[in-house]
Structures are given as structure tokens and as C-alpha cells.
Amino acid sequence: MKSIKGMMNHLYWANRRILDALEENETMNNDILKLVRHVAVAERVWLSRLQNKSNAHYSLWEEAEDLIVIRTMFEENAEQYRVYIEALQESELDEMVNYSNMSGVPFRTSVRDILLQVILHGQYHRGQINQALRIASAEPAQVDYITFARI
């Protein structure tokens, strides 16, 4: 549990850093905003699956116009994941979750693997966002795990 909690804390920190970089650089490219929103919504979708709730009302790839709305989503996600993980027992990490993907295809995945998916998915897309910042001659956010671990 300690590793999962540490990696999730890194996720919350890295999400804030990437949002801060976007605000500081005033980089509001529609493609970047759409990608940032995608990460926030994907976190919500996976949490709904973990909680055995419907996620049919979520759309992963909608246009986004407001970084403040996206930041609020990330803050709410962080709080909801903290509550979920605090209630989670180590033995529950290997429990299987039945869910359907956004196309309706059924799957069965462990809680541990779902949490790792959330962690790695966000890191993948933060790399893409940082690349877009560089292309726009803006300063990327340092979001490496080791930077987080050193603080």
C-alpha cells in the first residue's frame, strides 16, 4: 500500500505542476487543453469503475476551454482517490473489478492494476503535454518521480 499511496501522491503533485506550467506560460492551445481534460476525465472514469458506479456519462475526448474547470476536476479527483485509498486494505488490491470500457466491452482487472493504470496513464500524457510546451517555446514542468521523492 505504501508504494501505491506514494505513487498516487506523485500523481496529484505532478497534475498540479503541469497545470501550473500551463497557467504560467499562458499556453491555452485547444489540443493541449483537450489532452489535459482527457487525463482528468480518465481518472474519474477509473475511479467510477473501482466504486462500481456507471461511467457512461463521461466523454474522454471533449474540447475544453477553461483550465480552471480542469483544475477543479483534478482537485476533486485527488480528494476522491485519497478517500478511496484510505479505506482500501492491502488485501483488496488483488480483488478483481468487473467493468466495461467506453465501447461496452467487458473486462475484469485487479484494483492494483487499475490504480497503476491511472498512475501511468497520467504520466504518459504529462510527457506529451510537456513536449507541446517545448514546441510552443514554453517552459515544461518537471514532473519526474525522483523530483517529487526529493521534496
pLDDT single digits (tens) 126-147: 999 999 999 988 899 999 999 9
| Residue 8 binned pLDDT confidence (cut-offs 50, 70, 90) | very high
Global confidence as pTM: 0.93
Q: Delineate the domains of the chain, giving CATH numbers in brackets.
A: 2-149 (1.20.120.450)
Segment 24-34, tens digit of pLDDT: 987 668 889 99
Give the chain's mean pLDDT.
93
Give the three cell numbers for residue 76. 476533486
Looking up cell 478517500 gives 83
Given this model, what pLDDT does residue 129 score? 94
The pLDDT of residue 5 is above 80: yes
pLDDT tens readout for residues 42-71: 999 999 999 999 887 888 888 887 899 999
Amino acid at 116: L
Phi, psi of 97 (to 5 degrees): -115, 130
Q: How many residues does the chain have?
A: 151
